[in-house]
């Protein structure tokens, strides 16, 4: 099979992206430390037409050369906002009628492959710090927790990988492809 | 909901991992340049009990300090082998009765959300170089190509993110959770 050339991929421009319909999903970064991870979340959010990324606490904001290295320009297509406290971002999301999920291993979390999104006006997905995960005070404000089942030696996946897997699943369910 | 402590996650040790049942999936890295990406693929492969990672061409091999930074030790749990030519790895996989998929945007590739794995003795998933993707000569040897549908401005996802999403989907289908 012939590998497609870049011009055969029919990608949209940054201006077209801004005007394009997005999925009603906002990704929240709760004190994500690594600029690589932040950039990577932008690139994934661009691919799945995520509505916005909320950068919170110590999470760095664009423009930044090291975010650009992994975002590769997606930090200019995907809308973002900064909040000093992640808790304030969650409160704003609730005011705006978003249902907020933390991606975290908690007592009572739903496994990602068993998650069935109820029809809602909008969804948010909170990704946590590389070492501490999503803060307990943030989890306490979320509507539910979702967890990726893991069977290896390490206690967690890299946050940008876990985020990628979860964003893909939210994308499929929001688009109605519930039959993956 | 209470965030789980590390000791509540019941992870297995490296020795236990080696003896544990794996999913019959081998991940092949076709000339992956970034040590971050290589390490990240090890970490993801550990989480989903991937059978082995085949490192090919310019793909660096453990032990390596920069692979360790993202693998965090998963380079010691997950079995790996090195091949100078990716084509030789694919030939060995075919000799061993694996069905080989390239993760690549090609004419005639199957979208990941439409992929239905036929029952086979084993599967392999080839991930390509950060710039060039999976080489055409490698694609030519594969049994099928699978593609992650993308709707943004960038022509591709980061290889470790795309790999994470695809490995998760292979894991679910191999484990029989076809109803995600």
pLDDT for position A94 = 98
Contact B47 A151 (CB under 8 A): yes
Spans of chain A below 50 pLDDT: 177-180
Record: contact A154-B11, CB cut-off 8 A? yes
Are B9 and A105 within 8 A, CB to CB? Answer: yes
CATH architecture of B22-174: 3-Layer(aba) Sandwich (3.40)
Q: Can you say how many angstroms the Cα of residue B75 is from the centroid of all Cα atoms in its chain?
A: 13
Interface touch A73/B104, C-beta < 8 Å: no
Q: Say which residues have a Cβ less than 8 Å from residue B159's Cβ, sequence separation at least 6.
A: B32, B34, B37, B127, B128, B129, B130
CB contact under 8 A, A11 and B152: yes
> Which of A21, A68, A153, A179 has the highest number of chain B CBs within 10 A, making it the mutation to test binding with B?
A153
Tens-place pLDDT, residues B116-171: 998 888 999 999 999 999 999 999 999 999 999 999 999 999 999 999 999 999 99
Residues of B whose CB is below 8 A from A38: none
B chain contacts of residue A130, beta-carbon cutoff 8 Å: none
Q: At the top level of CATH, which class does the domain A10-174 belong to? A: alpha beta
R_g (Cα) of chain B, nearest Å: 16
Res A180: pLDDT: 30
From the CA of B96, how many Å to the nearest CA of chain A?
23
Question: What is residue B178's predicted lDDT score, i.e. its pLDDT?
Answer: 36
Provide the shortest C-alpha distance from residue B122 to chain A (in Å).
19
Q: Is 0.90 topped by the overall pTM?
A: yes
- Tell me, what's the pLDDT at A6? 87
Q: Where are the domains of chain B?
A: 22-174
Encode pLDDT of A84-95 as tens digits.
Answer: 999 999 999 999
Cβ B49–A74 below 8 Å, yes or no?
no
Q: What is the largest CA-CA distance in chain B?
A: 50
Give A-chain residues touching B104 at CB under 8 angstroms: 3
Question: Which of A21, A166, A28, A9 lies closest to A100, judged by CA?
Answer: A28
């Amino acid at each position: 099979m012939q590998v497609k050339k870049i011009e055969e991929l029919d990608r949209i421009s940054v201006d077209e992206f801004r005007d394009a319909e997005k999925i009603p999903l906002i990704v929240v970064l709760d004190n994500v430390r690594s600029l690589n991870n932040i950039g990577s979340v932008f690139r994934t959010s661009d691919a799945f037409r995520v509505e916005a990324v909320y950068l919170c606490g110590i999470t760095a904001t664009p423009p930044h050369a090291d975010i650009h290295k992994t975002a590769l320009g997606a930090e200019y297509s995907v809308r973002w906002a900064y909040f000093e406290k992640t808790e304030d971002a969650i409160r704003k999301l609730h005011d705006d009628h978003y249902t907020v999920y933390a991606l975290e291993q908690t007592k009572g979390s739903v496994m990602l492959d068993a998650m069935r999104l109820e029809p809602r006006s909008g969804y948010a997905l909170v990704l946590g710090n590389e070492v501490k995960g999503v803060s307990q005070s943030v989890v306490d404000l979320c509507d539910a927790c979702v967890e990726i089942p893991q069977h290896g030696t390490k206690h967690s996946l890299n946050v940008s990988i876990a985020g990628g897997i979860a964003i893909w699943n939210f994308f499929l369910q929001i688009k109605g492809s519930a039959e993956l």
